[in-house]
């Protein structure tokens, strides 16, 4: 049995590592959630999340995982039997479809190979063919956590508009918000779904809906049952910083600290550039090892994680077990149809060059220890990229003179 010292490397694509200062913020005495101090906290995090989503519309925060935010997006906008256009981009898109079915909706599920994102042309064709406008919503996973594929949401919006179809656009950003450029208002999204445990650098437990005026209007006539998830119940108290039921107070303290880090200190553009740089370094390492990227469309490479295909005859789970036992590092598993075939490297959230290099060194050592056929040199390829493309100074800190 290997004795592990030092930190555990949690390099799955979420939950991600929580910065110490966020943990210290969560470790705050619990306060009266009906008092004036909480109202200040509530207003601060609601306004901060509007900036992260890049929306002027309301944002609702639930004490829930991202699955809760999926459900909230559907039950607030749709009615029993409504058709929803969904796409098989991976494991989580498939789970969202299953949730829709259980709610009594009628998903029109477009099959996919889990190696590409949503096809905007297929959306336009499906909506043009929907002469009776029976499809009430298009549901898209922006960044598919199971595959490392990022769908092109602006092109999806253009496809819906080109078809002249009134369907709502619902987008899951659970593994992209705070890591990959996203613009709720500018991209014409009606409901954006997110969770706390990835790019927002928090533990699991908070989920979010960003809501357009069109979605709010749809909620007035939607007939799926809702109580806990009801937007109207949330938006009234939210106007003064409060919640209709007991909120996850201490997670909100952590969220306020994380928002300070993302918005006031590093700045979102620098955050996105950092993630893109680390993702490219990771892909160069994978290619240097002679391994295959799961994502086959370069325009859709994820900046949050990289999914790697194992060589024929090699078991990804056995490799991950070796890495965990020998080097105390957790890598993401292949999910459902990808089980045993891929492993996933998370490079999102509170992450820097040294964390990335430690991660890639662990992968390379693991390939050797597990006897996986590969070429040496992946770590060096990543180092060369980081050296050639040094991280830019944060414009926020530069402006502050630090």
Residue ranges for the known binding site for substrate are 344
Burial of 131 (0-12, 13-18, 19+ CB in 10 A): exposed
Going 72 to 75 to 78 to 83, the CA torsion angle's sign is positive
Residue ranges for the binding site?
344
Rounded Cα distance, 23 and 250, in Å = 10
Rounded Cα distance, 23 and 314, in Å = 39
Q: Spell out the residues 6+ positions from residue 199 whose beta carbon is closer than 8 angstroms to its own.
A: 16, 175, 176, 177, 178, 179, 180, 271, 304, 348, 349
- Torsion, Cα 140 141 147 152, to 10 degrees, reads 70
The two three-digit tokens of residue 283, written as one number: 């892909």
For residue 15, whether the previous peptide bond is cis, meaning omega lies within 30 degrees of 0, is yes
- The H helix count followed by the E strand count for the chain is 14, 14
Q: At what angle do helices 378-388 and 268-288 cross, to 10 degrees?
A: 150
């Amino acid at each position: 049995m290997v004795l592990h010292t030092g930190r555990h490397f949690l390099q799955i694509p979420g939950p991600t590592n929580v910065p110490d200062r966020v943990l210290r913020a969560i470790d705050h005495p619990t306060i009266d959630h009906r008092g004036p101090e909480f109202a200040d906290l509530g207003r601060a995090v609601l306004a901060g999340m509007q900036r992260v989503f890049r929306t002027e519309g309301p944002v609702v925060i639930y004490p829930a995982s991202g699955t809760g935010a999926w459900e909230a997006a559907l039950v607030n906008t749709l009615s029993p039997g409504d058709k929803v256009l969904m796409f098989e981009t991976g494991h989580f898109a498939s789970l969202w479809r299953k949730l829709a079915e259980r709610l009594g909706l009628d998903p029109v599920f477009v099959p996919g190979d889990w190696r590409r994102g949503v096809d905007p042309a297929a959306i336009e064709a499906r909506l043009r063919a929907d002469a009776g406008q029976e499809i009430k919503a298009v549901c898209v996973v922006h960044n598919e956590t199971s595959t490392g594929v990022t769908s092109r949401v602006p092109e999806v919006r253009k496809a819906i508009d080109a078809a002249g179809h009134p369907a709502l656009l619902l987008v899951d950003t659970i593994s992209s918000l705070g890591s990959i450029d996203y613009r709720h208002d500018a991209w014409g999204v009606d409901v954006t779904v997110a969770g706390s445990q990835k790019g927002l650098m928090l533990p699991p437990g908070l989920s979010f809906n960003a809501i357009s005026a069109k979605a709010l209007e749809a909620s007035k006539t939607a007939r799926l049952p809702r109580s806990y998830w009801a937007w109207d119940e949330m938006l009234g108290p939210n106007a003064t910083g409060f919640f209709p039921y007991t909120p996850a107070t201490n997670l909100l303290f952590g969220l306020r600290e994380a928002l300070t880090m993302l918005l006031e200190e590093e700045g979102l553009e620098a955050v996105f550039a950092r993630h893109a740089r680390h993702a490219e370094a990771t892909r160069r390492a994978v290619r240097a090892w002679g391994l295959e990227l799961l994502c086959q469309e370069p325009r859709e490479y994820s900046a949050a994680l990289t999914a790697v295909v194992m060589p024929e005859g090699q078991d990804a789970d056995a490799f991950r077990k070796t890495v965990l036992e020998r080097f105390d590092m957790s890598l993401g598993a292949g999910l459902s149809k990808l089980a045993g075939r891929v492993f996933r490297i998370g490079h999102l959230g509170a992450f820097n060059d040294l964390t990335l290099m430690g991660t890639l060194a662990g992968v390379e050592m693991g390939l050797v220890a597990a006897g996986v056929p590969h070429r040496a040199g992946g770590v060096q390829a990543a180092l060369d990229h980081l050296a050639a493309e040094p991280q830019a100074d944060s414009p926020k800190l530069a402006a502050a003179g630090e």
